C-alpha cells in the first residue's frame, strides 16, 4: 500500500538497511515514541514517512544518531542527507535526489516502493561469541541476502555470554516477521540459529563452524527445526573439532563442506558467499 504524504514537507526515510545494524531496537523505540506522541508515521515495507520539515527529523534522528550506529554519511546535497545505509529525503512533489527505488504519485500525494525493491523474505545472521554484527562473515552474508532482495538482520549479542540469552534475544527480534525466514550463524551463532529454528518456522539453516557437541551448552541434542541445512567447517578448526560437526551433520542429513582453513574461516569468504547465494536461490521443501 502506498504511504500518504501528510503534508508538503513530509520526510521519507529508507530504513531497510538499518535492520542490518545493531541499532534496530533504537529505531523501534523511536517509531513507538512518534506514534505515542501523536506525530504519526507510516511504514510501507522499508519506508518510514514523518510529516514535518528537516528541523523536526533532525531533532530525533540527527547526523550524530546515525554515526553512533556505525552508518556513514556519504554526501549532503540541497539539504538532503544521504548515508551509505540510509537516505532521508525532504520532498514537496517528488524526490530531490534520483530515487530509482521509489514510485511517486504527485497527483494523489503517495509514495511506495517499486515492486522490484520489495523484499522476498528475511535472513537473520547470528555472530559468534567473540565477534559482532559487523564482522566480515556477517557482512558478507548480509550483502548476499540484500542482493537477492532479502531483509538482512544481524542481532547484536555482544555482552551476552549465555547462548540461551542470545537465543531469547533473537526470538524477540523475530517477532512480527512475515514471509520466508532463513537463519544463519557462526560458531556460537550457529548454535543460536539451530535453537531458534526449533521455535521459528525456518526455511533453511546456513551454519559456519557451528558450536555443536560442546560442553557448557544447554541443548546437547540440538535437533534442528528445518530439513534444509548447509554447513561450512574447517578441518583445522581449533575450537570445534571437525569430527563433532561431521557426526552432527550425518545425524541430521545436513550438507557439509569441509575446507582447509581454521575456525574463523577467514580465507573462505568467497566460498561462503557462493554457497549462501545458492541456498537463497534454490527452492526449499
- Residues 17/146, Cβ–Cβ less than 8 Å: yes
Mean pLDDT of the chain: 75
Report CA 137 to chain centroid distance, whole Å.
13
Coil, strand or helix: which one is 125? strand
What pLDDT is stored for residue 102 in this prediction?
61
What pLDDT is stored for residue 16 in this prediction?
43
Asked if the model's pLDDT at residue 114 lies above 50, the reply is yes
Strand order in the sheet with 150-153: 150-153, 121-126, 181-186, 204-208, 228-234, 255-259
CA distances from 93 to 6, 9, 18, 107 (A): 12, 9, 26, 9
Nearest to 118 by CA among 166, 150, 153: 150
Asked if the model's pLDDT at residue 134 lies above 50, the reply is yes
What is the pLDDT averaged over residues 21-46?
Answer: 43
Q: Return d(Cα 138, Cα 114) in angstroms, integer.
A: 27
pLDDT band at 226 (very low <50, low <70, confident <90, very high): very high
Higher pLDDT, 47 or 140: 140
Gyration radius (Cα) of the chain, Å: 21
pLDDT band at 179 (very low <50, low <70, confident <90, very high): confident
Asked if the model's pLDDT at residue 22 lies above 60, the reply is no
Asked if the model's pLDDT at residue 174 lies above 70, the reply is yes
What is the pLDDT averaged over residues 202-228?
Answer: 97
pLDDT band at 184 (very low <50, low <70, confident <90, very high): very high
Q: Return d(Cα 252, Cα 274) in angstroms, integer.
A: 23
What pLDDT is stored for residue 176 in this prediction?
74
Name 11's bridge partners.
Answer: 50, 90
Q: DSSP E strands: which ranges in the chain? A: 3-4, 11-14, 42-44, 47-50, 73-77, 80-83, 87-90, 102-105, 110-113, 121-126, 150-153, 181-186, 204-208, 228-234, 255-259
- Phi-psi group of 214: left, alpha or beta (phi > 0 → left; psi -120 to 50 → alpha; rest → beta): beta
Question: What's the pLDDT tens digit per position in 81-108?
Answer: 444 444 555 444 444 444 555 666 656 6
What pLDDT is stored for residue 109 in this prediction?
54
Asked if the model's pLDDT at residue 259 lies above 70, the reply is yes
Asked if the model's pLDDT at residue 266 lies above 80, the reply is yes
Nearest to 146 by CA among 266, 277, 24: 277
Asked if the model's pLDDT at residue 61 lies above 50, the reply is no
Q: 66 is written with which cell numbers?
A: 546515525
Alpha carbon distance, N-terminus to C-terminus of the chain? 30
In sequence order, which residues have a C-beta less than 8 Å from that of residue 49 and are 6 or more positions away?
Answer: 3, 4, 5, 6, 10, 11, 12, 13, 41, 42, 43, 111
Question: What's the pLDDT tens digit per position in 246-256?
Answer: 999 999 999 99
What pLDDT is stored for residue 150 in this prediction?
86
- Residues 126/183, Cβ–Cβ less than 8 Å: yes
What is the pLDDT averaged over residues 255-275?
Answer: 97
pLDDT band at 8 (very low <50, low <70, confident <90, very high): very low
The DSSP 8-state label assigned to residue 5 in this structure reads P
Positive or negative: CA dihedral 54, 58, 61, 66: positive
Domains recognised in the chain with CATH numbers? 3-117 (no CATH), 121-281 (3.40.50.1820)
Amino acid at each position: 500500500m502506498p504511504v500518504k504524504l501528510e503534508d508538503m514537507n513530509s520526510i521519507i526515510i529508507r530504513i531497510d538497511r538499518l535492520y542490518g545494524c545493531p541499532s534496530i531496537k533504537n529505531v523501534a523505540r523511536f517509531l513507538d515514541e512518534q506514534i505515542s506522541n501523536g506525530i504519526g508515521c507510516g511504514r510501507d515495507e522499508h519506508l518510514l514517512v514523518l510529516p514535518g520539515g528537516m528541523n523536526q527529523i533532525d531533532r530525533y534522528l540527527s547526523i550524530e544518531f546515525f554515526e553512533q550506529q556505525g552508518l556513514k554519511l556519504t554526501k549532503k546535497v540541497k539539504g538532503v542527507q544521504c548515508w551509505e545505509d540510509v537516505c532521508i529525503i525532504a520532498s514537496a512533489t517528488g524526490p530531490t535526489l534520483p530515487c530509482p527505488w521509489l514510485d511517486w504519485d504527485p497527483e494523489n500525494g503517495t509514495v511506495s516502493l517499486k515492486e522490484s525493491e520489495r523484499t522476498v523474505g528475511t535472513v537473520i545472521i547470528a555472530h559468534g561469541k567473540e565477534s559482532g554484527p559487523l564482522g566480515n562473515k556477517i557482512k558478507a552474508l548480509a550483502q548476499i541476502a540484500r542482493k537477492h532482495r532479502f531483509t538482512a538482520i544481524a542481532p547484536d549479542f555482544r555482552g551476552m555470554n549465555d547462548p540461551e540469552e542470545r537465543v531469547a534475544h533473537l526470538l524477540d527480534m523475530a517477532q512480527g516477521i512475515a514471509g520466508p525466514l532463513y537463519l544463519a550463524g557462526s560458531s556460537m551463532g550457529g548454535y543460536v540459529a539451530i535453537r531458534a529454528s526449533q521455535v521459528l518456522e525456518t526455511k533453511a539453516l546456513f551454519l559456519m563452524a557451528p558450536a555443536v557437541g560442546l560442553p557448557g551448552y544447554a541443548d546437547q541434542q540440538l535437533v534442528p527445526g528445518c530439513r534444509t541445512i548447509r554447513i561450512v567447517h574447517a578441518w583445522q578448526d581449533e575450537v570445534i573439532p571437525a569430527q563433532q560437526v561431521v557426526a552432527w551433520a550425518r545425524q541430521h542429513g545436513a550438507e557439509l563442506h569441509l575446507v582447509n582453513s581454521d575456525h574463523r574461516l577467514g580465507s573462505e569468504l568467497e566460498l561462503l558467499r557462493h554457497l549462501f547465494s545458492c541456498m537463497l536461490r534454490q527452492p526449499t521443501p
